[in-house]
Amino acid sequence: MMPPALLSLPRSSSPSVSPSPLCPGRRSAAVQRHRPSIPSRPAAGICYASQAVELLPSLYPGTGVIVRDAKLEDCWEVADTHCSSFFPGYKFPLDLVLRLDRYIALLSGFSVPPGCTRSCLVAVNPTAANSAISIECGDLRDAEFHGKYSLSKGSVAGILTVDTVADFLPRRGRLKQRRTGIAYIANVAVRKEERRKGIAKMLVAEAEERARSWGCRSVALHCDVSNLAALRLYKSQGYKSIRVPEDAKWPAPKIDQSVRYEFMMKLVPKS
């Protein structure tokens, strides 16, 4: 399982967290009376669901699992999968607060620097049982509510984010310029009941396809050195450990000071 990184879900007109990349600084959450309007042309630097790479969802034969871009209606499941995987020890009410915080942040979306791309991928298991809870948002003083969001559970089996923002890659040159041509994978998480089915491998494979479509020449990630299963997975997929100089101040996820990360990279196979 990857250390959490900034998880963002682009918006769409139709209706998923982490001090480092899925838990940015806490965001203030305000209940809005109306569903936010979606501009016909997104502002520069903002990533929307309609801008997601237009690739057909990948269906993996023999499993029935589909890997695709996350949609707005997946927000609660993405937030729940992230929190249950990276923060399993949280108890009520903190676990609920954390999920709601991530849910609202995902609905709001995050900006990305101009020229950069970010995708949130989900592995969907169509055979999983799905139960939904609807939340209606509005002013309690009104006779009716104006917004409605669905909190579904049961179909999203795993999540992953991949981007070219390069927040966790060493900067280039004296001017500390952002590196280009390298995609970064984070927030690889699979629900407990869906593990050992190759879902993480499917997500990573799709992320590499996205990196190739973006013109990236390599993919990088950080992995918790104590997570032996994840290390085996990445090494089996061709990722190599990169030795970081002792005096180098390379950026890395900052979840817990006691956690050590292995920096790994892989060349993107040419199609």
* 8 A C-beta contact, residue 5 and residue 168: yes
- Give the separation between CA 169 and CA 167, rounded to whole angstroms: 6
Alpha carbons 13 and 49: distance in angstroms, whole number: 8
- Give the single-character DSSP code of 150: E
Distance CA 228, CA 108 (A): 35
Q: Is 60 a catalytic residue?
A: no
Assigned token pair, 197: 């089915």
Task: Give whole-number Cα distances, 96 to 27, 93, 131, 170, 199, in Å.
Answer: 15, 5, 18, 35, 26
Dist. CA 70–CA 249, nearest whole Å = 33
Look at the block and give the residue holding tokens 């956690």: 259
> Which one of the listed residues 48, 60, 149, 234 is annotated catalytic?
234
The pair of three-digit structure tokens given for residue 146, joined into one six-digit string: 């104006």
Residue matched to tokens 């995987």: 85
Annotated catalytic residues are: 234
